[in-house]
Structure 1
Amino acid sequence: MLNVYGLKNCDTCRKALSWLQSENIAHQFFDIRKDGFTETDLKRWLAALGHEQLINRRGTSWRNLDAAVQESLSEKTAAALVLTEPALMKRPIFDDGNKFVICGFKAEQQDALKSL
């Protein structure tokens, strides 16, 4: 089963969930603020995507960070930041719990999801 991590009020997450349903792709949604995620999940996402791809630099959460924190971002600091402020992650994150991890919902991610 495909796990989808995001925010219930995120437009992109809602579009992704609607699309998954229309494509008959079995999935389970986890709201990262309400349901959370494990540190193990985060480590797997960072290993698969890297912190540059996982961190959403266009969102309000990023803009609200101190400039010094933004400039000193590394893999280690990214993990700590995301654990305290989950909305810093790009959304949605698709994870099969094994080796398949992607984030975002553009055409290339949709193609990857269809290949599952």
Structure 2
Amino acid sequence: MITMYGIKNCDTIKKARRFLEDHQVEFEFIDFRQQPIEPTLLQSFVDQIGWDKLINKRSTTYRSLSDVQKANITLELTLKNPTLIKRPVLVTDGNIRVGFSEKGYSDLV
């Protein structure tokens, strides 16, 4: 089973969802805003890919953080500000991918 995490109005999420739907790939979509991410799940993302890949440093939310917060990204901060997470986060068989590209998703079809 494939699970996609993100925010439904995000343009990258829309592209990723459209790609999977167009290729008839079944997946479950979970919106961070409607169903907040569990701390243990977020920690598993961090453990597997690290903060550098997980955090969207181009987001408005990230840019609004203080320099101290940017240097010390924590679970608590990210749980309070889920838009810090780069989207989409795609979980397939325990493997985690962040972001979207057709080439990167080609092995799913």
Fold-level similarity (TM above 0.5): yes
Give 1:109's match in structure 2, choosing from 94, 104, 108.
104
Q: What's 1:61 paired with? A: 61
Q: Which amino acid aligns with 1:109?
A: G
Q: What's 1:8 paired with? A: 8
Query: Which consecutive aligned stretches of 4+ in structure 1 deviate over 6 angstroms post-superposition?
Result: none
- Percent identical among aligned pairs is 31
Structure 2 spans left out of the alignment, 5+ residues: none
Instruction: Measure, in 1, the Cα distance between the counterparts of 2:61 and 2:69.
Output: 12
Say if 1:5 and 1:108 are closer, same or farther in 2 by CA, change over 3 A: same
**Which structure 2 residues correspond to residues 61-80 of structure 1 after superposition, within 5 A?**
61-70=61-70, 72-73=71-72, 77-80=73-76
**Which structure 2 residues correspond to residues 16-95 of structure 1 after superposition, within 5 A?**
16-70=16-70, 72-73=71-72, 77-95=73-91
For the aligned residue pairs, the C-alpha RMSD in angstroms reads: 1.5
Instruction: Measure, in 1, the Cα distance between the counterparts of 2:19 and 2:62.
Output: 27
Structure 1 spans left out of the alignment, 5+ residues: none
Instruction: Measure, in 2, the Cα distance between the counterparts of 1:51 and 1:2.
Output: 22
Paired residues, number:
109
Q: Which amino acid aligns with 2:101?
A: K
Instruction: Measure, in 1, the Cα distance between the counterparts of 2:43 and 2:104.
Output: 21
How high is the TM-score relative to the length of structure 1?
Answer: 0.85
Q: Considering Cα pairs closer than 8 Å and 6+ residues apart, tell me whether 1 or 2 has the greater RCO.
A: 2
SS in structure 1 at match of 2:9? coil
Contact 1:45 1:54 in 2 (8 A): yes
